[in-house]
Amino acid sequence: MIGNRLGSYEITAKLGEGGMGEVYRARDSKLGREVAIKVLPAHLAADADALARFEREAKAVATLSHPNILAIFDFGREGDTAFAVTELLDGETLGLRLASGALPARKALEIASQVALGLAAAHERGIVHRDLKPDNLFLTRDGQVKILDFGLARQAEEQASKSQLFAAPTRAPGTAAGTVLGTVGYMSPEQVRGEPADHRSDIFSLGVVLYEMLTGHRAFEHGSAVETMSAILKEEPPELEAIAEKQSPSLVRLLQHCLEKRPQERFQSARDLAFDLAGAGRAAFATRPDRRRRGGPRRDRPGMADRRGRRARRIARDGGGRSAADFPAADEGAGWRGEAHDLP
């Protein structure tokens, strides 16, 4: 494939492969830019109905044009080869980042907040991801988060239609009542039961991902897929108390709200979740041990009190309009506040 052309795209390198296709780096000769191309497997390219669904959903995702969703540029066919063209990213997946352990709370909340904003944009267009997991979240070198692989995505009004867009390995050939779709460990309870999954399923999966970022462990992980799915249905994630001790009870409440077993008891929109995540992120930053609270008491640097006292006496002596009483006493030795009357 390397060195070949697909339409106006020249394949230059292979980036990876999976059960649902191979990904290549390519050069767009028309626009002179580097892109990524996903070549669909032969069985999908040969299925006219599946190909039509793929193209329809690719167009739906392409219309989102959101900074936290992988941009789709083009879709085409060259002979028997069907392919999708996306933006080329520089960085690593969240899955790779988590291989080295948990993330600081502030970073985890920042990532989750960006993911929630991307999901909100998709949900507002009736598009549900249904396979959110660390391997489908990409962290660029400039700090942006991109949602990849709307592999099990569907438009909400197509309850009986199965998506083919960038599908995941756990995908079944068709969608019907009782069919399990998603990646075990990140599925929502309704996905485990084979029920239709709406936007609140993505909120549950994002809660699972956030839990893993904070702890370095999966929320639901057992010896087999069956045991893991049973835990999703019946158990609460471990280590919530440890998160509360290290972070804050409010963060645990946010996680629990995402991970409610019943969809109607979770956050009802990803945008509301994004708002709460942003607030939690600001709180995590403000309470960092190495950060002084703004406006709070601070200790004087050596000699600061003496300098303030001399300055106050000089202003009072020279008739500067304020007396020494307007300033903190030089010998108090206590903290002082950065209020309007403080010296420059």
pLDDT digits (tens, 9 = 90+) for 223-244: 899 999 999 999 999 878 777 7
Give the residue-averaged pLDDT of 247-255.
88
| Model pLDDT, residue 230 | 94
Give the pLDDT of residue 190. 96
Query: Mind listing the pLDDT tens digit for each residue in 282-332?
Result: 876 666 555 444 444 444 455 555 565 566 566 555 554 444 444 444 444
Q: What is the pLDDT of residues 106-124, one digit of tens each?
A: 999 999 999 999 999 999 9
Give the residue among 8, 244, 200 at the shortest CA–CA distance from 105: 244
Q: What average pLDDT does the segment 206-223 reach?
A: 94
- Can you tell me which residue has the tokens 């972070």? 247
- Does residue 34 register a pLDDT over 90? yes
Comparing 162 with 48, which gets the higher pLDDT? 48
Beta bridge partners of 92: 139
pLDDT of residue 287: 60
Q: What residues are annotated to the active site? A: 131
At 318 the pLDDT is 58
Note whether 82 and 40 are within 8 A (CB).
yes
**Greater model confidence, 67 or 297:** 67
79 has a pLDDT exceeding 60:
yes
Residue scoring higher pLDDT (81 or 93): 93
The one-letter amino acid code at 344 reads: P
What would the 3-class secondary structure string for the chain be? CCCCEECCEEEEEEEEEECCEEEEEEEECCCCEEEEEEECCHHHHCCHHHHHHHHHHHHHHHCCCCCCECCEEEEEEECCEEEEEEECCCEEEHHHHHCCCCCCHHHHHHHHHHHHHHHHHHHHCCEECCCCCHHHEEEECCCCEEECCCCCCEECCCCCCCCCCCCCCCCCCCCCCCCCCCCCCCCCHHHHCCCCCCHHHHHHHHHHHHHHHHHCCCCCCCCCHHHHHHHHHHCCCCCHHHHHHHCCHHHHHHHHHHCCCCHHHCCCCHHHHHHHHHHHHHHHHHCCCCCCCCCCCECCCCCHHHHHHHHHHHHHHCCCCCCHHHCCCCCCCCCECCCCCCCC
The alpha carbon of 248 is separated from its chain's Cα centroid by a whole number of angstroms, namely 20
Q: Output the pLDDT for position 209.
A: 98
**How do residues 127-145 score in pLDDT, each as one tens digit?**
899 899 999 999 999 999 9
pLDDT at 337: 36
Which tokens hold the place of 325? Answer: 């009483």
pLDDT of residue 179: 47
What does the pLDDT read at residue 288?
Answer: 55
Please say whether the dihedral angle defined by the alpha carbons of residues 108, 111, 114 and 118, taken in this order, is positive or negative.
Answer: negative
Q: What is the pLDDT of residues 150-204, one digit of tens each?
A: 754 664 444 333 333 333 333 333 344 444 556 889 999 999 999 988 999 999 9
Q: What is the mean pLDDT of residues 42-67?
A: 80
In sequence order, the 6+-apart residues with CB closer than 8 A to the CB of 69 are: 61, 118, 121, 122, 146, 147
d(CA 115, CA 271): 10
Question: Bridge partners of 17?
Answer: 22
**pLDDT grade for 246, boundaries at 50, 70 and 90:** confident
Q: What is the pLDDT of residue 269?
A: 97
Domains of the chain: 7-87 (3.30.200.20), 91-286 (1.10.510.10), 299-344 (no CATH)
Number of other CB atoms surrounding residue 344 within 10 Å: 3
Q: What is the mean pLDDT of the chain?
A: 79
pLDDT value, residue 323 = 46
The pLDDT of residue 254 is 95
pLDDT at 15 over 80: yes
CA angle 169–170–176, rounded 5-degree value = 130
The pLDDT, as a whole number, for residue 40 is 82
DSSP β-bridge partners for residue 147: 69, 137
More confident residue, 257 or 158: 257
Quote the CA–CA distance of 22 and 186 in Å, as a whole number.
24
Q: Check residue 297 and give its pLDDT.
A: 46
